[in-house]
Amino acid sequence: MKFFVDTANLEQIKEAQDLGILDGVTTNPSLMAKEGITGEANVLAHYEAICELVEGDISAEVIATDFDGMIKEGKILADIHENIVVKVPMTIDGIKAIRWFTDHDIRTNCTLVFSAGQAILAAKAGATYLSPFIGRVDDMNWDGIELIAQIADIYTIQGFQTQILAASIRNPLHIVRAAEAGADVCTCPLSSILGLAKHPLTDIGLAKFLADHKKGNA
Ligand code: E4P
């Protein structure tokens, strides 16, 4: 399973990159705004900076919601760097745009996915990645992990090549369960990635080893 970090914060991206396990980055307009990155020129420059930091797929989201606007923006984003993946919302115009990008060798990440039906449509259009938002599904009192498992089953049965990118991850357990359910990629906040390393028995065990080592060398 690939690991992407879900942020536009350059320090966090660098920290994730330094772990040596990072395969890419996802952003969205909210994450860009959170870092105070506004205006087209600044947004494009920020994507460029992310591409310089990380050798892996970088999702850059279109703002337009109509087909022509998405194509225009997607072409500009894809021109920034070969690792850019154009992020397109799951709408009817979005599906048409994904088909257009697929036919023009531009890779896509279909975002805001909440159902298996949407997953089928995106795969038919040739999306490179599909982003089911599991945390937001859980927030609605449904089961985000079950959605990942259902899509994984359908993609296997049907032979779809689209990669399932579990998004809207809220905690380390989401990552473990998404891996178990068949996600190809998890995009996570840095805190959830770091949380995977934590276990109190590791801390207790390490403290004991160090104490015994100290005693033995006293
Ligand atoms: C990433 O591609 C998504 O935009 C992101 O994971 C959404 O996460 P959120 O539900 O925490 O905003």
Q: Which ligand 1 atom lies nearest to the CA of residue 165?
A: 2
| Span from the CA of 167 to the centroid of ligand 1 (angstroms) | 6
Average pLDDT, the chain: 97
Catalytically annotated residue among 34, 87, 96, 214: 87
Q: Write down how long the chain is.
A: 218
Percentage of the chain beyond pLDDT 70 is 100
Ligand 1 in reach of 26 Cβ (< 6 A): yes
Catalytic (active site) residue 2 = no
Contacts for 156 with CB less than 8 Å, ≥ 6 apart: 182
Q: Whose CA is nearest to atom 8 of ligand 1?
A: 168
Contacts for 47 with CB less than 8 Å, ≥ 6 apart: 27, 58, 60, 77, 80, 81, 84
119-153 pLDDT, tens digit each = 999 999 999 999 999 999 999 999 999 999 999 99
160-179 pLDDT, tens digit each = 999 999 999 999 999 999 99
Q: Whose CA is nearest to atom 12 of ligand 1?
A: 168
26-72 pLDDT, tens digit each = 999 999 999 999 999 999 999 999 999 999 999 999 999 999 999 99
